[in-house]
Amino acid sequence: MIAPSPTVGSGGPALACTRLSKHYGGVRALQGVDWELQPGEVHALCGENGAGKSTLARICAGIAKPDSGEIRLGGRVVAWSGSDEARRSGIGIILQELDLFAHLTVAENVALGNPALEARRWVSFPRLAEAVAPHLREAGVAADPGATLGDLSVSQWQLVAIARVLSLEARVIFMDEPTSALTDDAVERLFAVIARLKARGVAIAYVSHKMSEIFRVCDRISVMRDGEMIGTSRRADTSIEAVIRQMVGRPLEGRRALAPARSGNSVLSARSLSTRKLRGVSFDLADGEILGIAGLVASGRSELGRALFGMTPVTGGTLELAGKPYRPRGVPEALRRGLALVPEDRRRDGLFMRMSIRENTTLADLGRYCRRGFIRRAAESGAARAQLARASARYGDDALPVETLSGGNQQKVLIAKWLLTRPGVCFLDDPTRGIDVGAKDDTYRMIAALAAEGVGVLWVSSELPELIANSHRILVLHEGAPMGVLDSSAATQESVMRLATGHGAR
């Protein structure tokens, strides 16, 4: 699809780092990293969360300052005073936590910090919209330039962030997990953009956990572990297994053998469930069954979870929970009825970043650990530890703020929080998004363990292979409507994708 990198011009690397080191407090983030990026290449940065990929990208883009070491841009040593200077020198970065502004319009978000587009003291919106339109088109942003960003989906945010970097005419672009919030069709559009940039000689550093993508678009692959650069290889000279081995230092097991669902009892059944964004969704979920939910942007995957959890009004249809009628009225009611929802955006909707790991874990069911209104510290801590262990979260001290953990472990804290409520039905909305390979594997294991205990599990993932491999059945949604339920043993990525794109062969 994407041609191998053209031979590098005489100019040498677009960007070269020598002996870069960085510490945050006592934590080593980077240790003597040597790395270079050639013009016209797509260069993957791989590694588990906390390996130092994001830190390296942030330092190169002037967001963080290295403790020692130097960076050369086109052969010239640079020391950024800040990201603004780096941007003016032609380095663009698309951050994992998108640095966009929800209250501003799409066009304004693209133009912010862009010297060319901000040159005028007075802004004329039509002129601005006109100026950013080509970049929006190139990035595949479907929304109107005048739309307020806050009204758009996470996927559109990501594309806007890409349009913003495109507008900078950057020579070096860092993409930190650019596809983590994208569905497959948007990913394809991104890859097309990458191919065009590459042809123009732009150097692209691609930080990702998704091996299939890396091996599709990248020319070279650098692996990091514990802040160190383990090695760089050409794509042709390595394999997915080899890269993963370098990342984790241990072999990864293959496809999970799921225990069969306990055939009998339905724990949740939906008949023609409708909301503002869902149109007549019906399905049955048995105890011990894992139902994967697939769908593209605006398919209603997350909406389904919110509807079940009473966070969005149900306009039609019926629900039965453990054989009894269920009418979602609000989250407390959903909790009482044994539902749990692990939200998609863990920073925004899930976690209290400055509260401790323990407090985050017990918040949904704190009343249980009280006597006469006072929290019993020992009981609370014991319960938190038990669930954190079940979710295989790794942490030092449960009194530390949850923001001190890596993304994967934050996700596990969030899962532990809902395990604590002993749900009968658990809805996990994209739980593997943006977490490392090891943490993903832990998540699959946890989902299987939950099901083995008799919990009915609904889960969403944007990565079809993992969804198919770790579910009994797949419910495919398209624009809020159910396209079909596939048995995962018979499902293929192609068959799911056909339904998800609305070309159902039913």
Partner 1 sequence: MSAPVGRNLGSARQAVRPFIGLILVLILGVILSPRGAHGGIVFISAGNLTDILLQQGEIGIMALAMTLVVIAGGIDLSVGSVLAFSASLAGIMLVRWTPGCGPGPQIAATVAAVLVLGAAIGAVNGAIITRLRLQPFVMTLAAMIGVRGLTKWMTGNTNIDFGFDAAASATFSDLFSRKPLIVAIWAVHAVAAHQVLARTVYGRHLRAVGENERAAAFTGLPIRRARTATYVICGAAAALAGLVHAARSHQGNPNDGVAYELDVIAAVVIGGTALSGGQGTILGTVTGTLILGVLTNVLRLRMVDSNVELMVKAVIIIVAVWLQRRDRSPSPT
- Measured distance CA(412)–CA(393) in Å, rounded: 5
Structure tokens, 32:
């003597």
Distance of CA 357 to the CA centre of its chain: 21
> Where does this chain touch partner 1 (CB under 8 A) — which range of 22-30, 253-261, 383-391, 485-493?
22-30
- Measured distance CA(422)–CA(344) in Å, rounded: 20
- Measured distance CA(181)–CA(187) in Å, rounded: 9
- Under the binding rule (CB under 8 A), the answer on residue 311 touching partner 1 is yes
Decide: 308 and 460 in contact? Cβ < 8 Å.
no
When binding is defined by CB under 8 A, the residue of 352, 386, 487, 492 that contacts partner 1 is 352
Least separation in angstroms between CB 474 and partner 1: 25
- Under the binding rule (CB under 8 A), the answer on residue 334 touching partner 1 is yes
Decide: 477 and 483 in contact? Cβ < 8 Å.
yes
- Under the binding rule (CB under 8 A), the answer on residue 366 touching partner 1 is yes
When binding is defined by CB under 8 A, the residue of 4, 11, 19, 27 that contacts partner 1 is 27
When binding is defined by CB under 8 A, the residue of 39, 62, 350, 456 that contacts partner 1 is 350
> Where does this chain touch partner 1 (CB under 8 A) — which range of 26-34, 153-161, 176-184, 441-449?
26-34
- Under the binding rule (CB under 8 A), the answer on residue 348 touching partner 1 is yes
Count of residues that interact with partner 1, criterion CB under 8 A:
40
Decide: 293 and 304 in contact? Cβ < 8 Å.
yes
- Under the binding rule (CB under 8 A), the answer on residue 497 touching partner 1 is no
Q: What amino acid is encoded at 421 in this protein?
A: T
- Under the binding rule (CB under 8 A), the answer on residue 101 touching partner 1 is no
Start-to-end CA distance of the chain, whole Å, equals 31
Least separation in angstroms between CB 347 and partner 1: 9
- Under the binding rule (CB under 8 A), the answer on residue 343 touching partner 1 is yes
159 forms bridges with which residues in the sheet?
A: none
- Measured distance CA(4)–CA(203) in Å, rounded: 13
DSSP-derived letter for residue 49 is: T
Which SS3 state, helix, strand or coil, does residue 390 take?
A: helix
Q: What amino acid is encoded at 427 in this protein?
A: F
Q: 284 or 349: whose CB is closer to partner 1?
A: 349
Q: Which of residues 44-63 bind partner 1 (CB under 8 A)?
A: 50, 54-55
- Under the binding rule (CB under 8 A), the answer on residue 331 touching partner 1 is yes
When binding is defined by CB under 8 A, the residue of 133, 154, 355, 481 that contacts partner 1 is 355
- Under the binding rule (CB under 8 A), the answer on residue 260 touching partner 1 is no
When binding is defined by CB under 8 A, the residue of 3, 396, 494, 505 that contacts partner 1 is 396
- Under the binding rule (CB under 8 A), the answer on residue 67 touching partner 1 is no
Decide: 99 and 181 in contact? Cβ < 8 Å.
no
- Under the binding rule (CB under 8 A), the answer on residue 335 touching partner 1 is yes
According to DSSP, the β-strands at 456-460 and 290-295 are parallel
- Under the binding rule (CB under 8 A), the answer on residue 378 touching partner 1 is no
- Under the binding rule (CB under 8 A), the answer on residue 65 touching partner 1 is no
Residue carrying structure tokens 């339109």: 133
Contacts of 34 (CB under 8 A, 6+ apart): 17, 18, 19, 20, 229
Contacts of 345 (CB under 8 A, 6+ apart): 154
- Under the binding rule (CB under 8 A), the answer on residue 490 touching partner 1 is no
**Which residues contact partner 1 by CB under 8 A?**
24-27, 29, 50, 54-55, 309, 311, 330-332, 334-335, 341, 343, 348-355, 359, 363-364, 366-367, 370, 373-375, 396-397, 403-404, 406, 417
